[in-house]
Each structure stands twice: as structure tokens, then as C-alpha cells.
Chain A
């Protein structure tokens, strides 16, 4: 099965800067979700974007989906030290009930 691949694998920025993470995939999807995981903790859902949507916002988060390029991006604006975490994209592939996770982007926001 194919999974989303996040890019970059690691990202280090200063507080107040924006952080952009990307997720690419290979086959058709039903929807794509972004999750956050703080070190050693469970996953927290951020945003779900369906295949017929192009952009969604939630607070300081903005997710875009380009099905023609088979890619999605997660933008965190005005980052804070508390945003330090790993971020994962997760796909539901066309015709399957399985959710497939990528390996994640590790974001470090320096105060």
C-alpha cells in the first residue's frame, strides 16, 4: 500500500515564523488528514480535507490539497514553541477503508 510522504523530514524555525509541511501521494484518495503528535503522546487530529476540497482553515492552520499534483500542504502561521511536535498526513485511498500514515515531519519551534 502506498502512504503519504511528508517533506521535509525535519524543520526548525524561530517563534513567530510560518512553517510549511508537504505531503505527496501516488494514487487517488478519498480524503487526507493532518495529525499532530507531541513527543511520546497520542495523536491529535488537526484538519480533514476531502478530495473535492482545495483549502481549509482552522485557527492558525491552513491546509491545501492539489489532487492534480497529488499533494497537500499544512501551513502553521505565527508559530509558537508549543507547536513543536511531529506532524503526520494520513490518507484514505480510493476504494479502501484503511488509513495510511506517512513518516511525519518533525517541527521544532525555537523560542
Chain B
């Protein structure tokens, strides 16, 4: 199993550009989540999903959209990037109330 994969590993955007961060898991987990981590901080939940077709907002959802059309994939979209979205983004998946498995992260720099 590949576990949780994320692409790209690193991305530079200009303010106002859009992009999609990809996340996929091959463990048939119902739950998937997106977090951002800023320097010296813990992880803050952006959006999460408890199954295909179901998404909900986390702590810091503004500026981000998600969809969950399949169990395996959970892309995160930035519609109009802002410097405040410079961060490291982690995707995770888990079964209900079980261990979360994290991807390796995507480093995003918005100029």
C-alpha cells in the first residue's frame, strides 16, 4: 500500500493564482482531512470528509474548497491564493475514531 500520497511536494504561486493540491489514499478509509501547519504551530483543520459526497468545514476553511467524489481522493482547491496561505499542507485519512495516517505534506509559497 502507498498509504496517503500528496502532490505536488512543493509549489510557488503568485497572489491571485489558483491551484489544486491532490491527496489520495489506498486504505479504503472513510475519513479524510486537510490541515495546514504554520511555523512553530500545530496543525489546524481546514476541511474534512466522512465519506464520498460528504464534506464539512474545520477551523480555518476560508479561501479553500474541497470535494469528495470518490473514497480515494480528496483534493483541496485554492481559488485565489493569498500570501496568508503560505504554509505546509497535510492530508490525512483514517477509519472512524482510529489512527490518522498522514501524507508527506505540500509546501506552498504564495508571493
Chain A residues within CB distance 8 Å of chain B: 1, 3, 30-31, 33, 41-45, 48, 88, 90, 92, 97-104
- Which residues of B are interface residues toward A (Cβ below 8 A)? 31, 33, 35, 40-45, 48, 50, 56, 58-59, 90, 92, 96-105
Q: Which residues of B contact A100 (CB under 8 A)?
A: 45, 59
On chain A, the residues within 8 Å of B96 by CB distance are 97
Find the residue from A41, A44, A101 having the highest chain B CB count within 10 A: A101
CB distance from A92 to the nearest CB of B (A): 6
Contact of B99 among A1, A42, A48 (CB under 8 A): A48
Tell whether A102 pairs with B102 under 8 Å between CB atoms, given A42-B90, A97-B50: no
- Complex alpha-carbon distance, A45 and B48, angstroms: 19
Residue of B nearest to A89 (CB): B42
A92 touches B97 (CB 8 A): yes
Specify the chain B residue showing the minimal Cβ separation from A103. Answer: B42
Q: Which residues of B contact A97 (CB under 8 A)?
A: 31, 48, 50, 56, 96
